[in-house]
């Protein structure tokens, strides 16, 4: 019991301290300062295969190639901004997880809010045109019910009579 009190927190601490990164041991630079800069830059670059991950988190071969390019540029003496400029010159602004707002990227920035506004407008228009017909009253029952036809009333009476006979 006392061993568990010691082992479980130790195991939790060890698991929490391990970053879930895709950087391979052979990619890591020997200089810790350069490696830290490489990680900072990698967090800002999008994996062109995965698209929703940074190259630091992706296992895709293209992401690995980009991580190597970043590290090569840093070893050559480039600043962080020069490395980012080099990569965006080759792959475009799409490679940035946070692309700048300019004429070539306005669609990336405005598409989400425009779709949200359009969806709100469409929902409001739908609700206005359909009124309460599609809505339900309390308890999930329809707000408006059509009266039963004569055939439906006859069938209902037969079912209720059978139910009384069986009870």
- Report the distance separating Cα 18 and Cα 55, nearest Å: 18
Q: What is the pLDDT of residues 128-152, one digit of tens each?
A: 877 655 555 555 555 567 788 999 9
- Give yes or no for a contact between 62 and 26, defined as CB atoms under 8 angstroms apart: no
The domain locations on the chain are 17-95, 106-166
Predicted pLDDT of residue 80: 92
Architecture of the domain spanning 17-95: Orthogonal Bundle (1.10)
- CA-CA distances (angstroms) from residue 12 to 1, 3, 75? 17, 14, 36
The answer, yes or no, to whether residue 154 has pLDDT greater than 90, is yes
pLDDT in tens, 44-72: 999 888 878 899 888 889 989 999 999 99
Determine which of 8-12, 14-18, 59-63, 69-73 has the lowest per-residue pLDDT on average. Answer: 14-18
Q: State the alpha helices, DSSP H only, in the chain.
A: 2-17, 32-43, 61-75, 80-91, 106-130, 150-166
Q: What mean pLDDT comes out for the span 152-162?
A: 90
Instruction: Quote the pLDDT of residue 6.
Output: 61
Structure tokens at 111: 């598409």
Segment 86-107 mean pLDDT: 85
Distance CA 148, CA 154 (A): 10
Average pLDDT of the residues of the chain? 80
Query: What is the distance, to the nearest Å, from the Cα of residue 101 to the centroid of all Cα atoms in its chain?
Result: 21
């Amino acid at each position: 019991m006392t061993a568990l009190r010691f082992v479980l927190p130790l195991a939790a601490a060890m698991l929490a301290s391990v970053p879930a990164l895709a950087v391979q041991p052979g990619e890591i630079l020997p200089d810790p300062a350069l490696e830290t800069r490489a990680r900072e830059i990698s967090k800002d670059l999008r994996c062109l295969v995965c698209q929703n991950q940074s190259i630091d988190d992706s296992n895709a071969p293209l992401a690995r190639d980009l991580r190597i390019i970043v590290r090569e540029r840093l070893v050559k003496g480039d600043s962080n901004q020069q490395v980012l400029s080099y990569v965006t010159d080759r792959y475009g602004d799409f490679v940035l997880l946070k692309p700048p707002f300019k004429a070539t990227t306005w669609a990336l920035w405005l598409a989400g809010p425009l779709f949200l506004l359009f969806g709100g407008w469409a929902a409001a228009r739908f609700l206005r045109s359909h009124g309460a017909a599609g809505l339900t009253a309390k308890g999930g029952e329809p707000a408006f019910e059509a009266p039963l036809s004569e055939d439906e009333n006859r069938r209902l009476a037969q079912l209720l009579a059978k139910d009384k006979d069986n009870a």
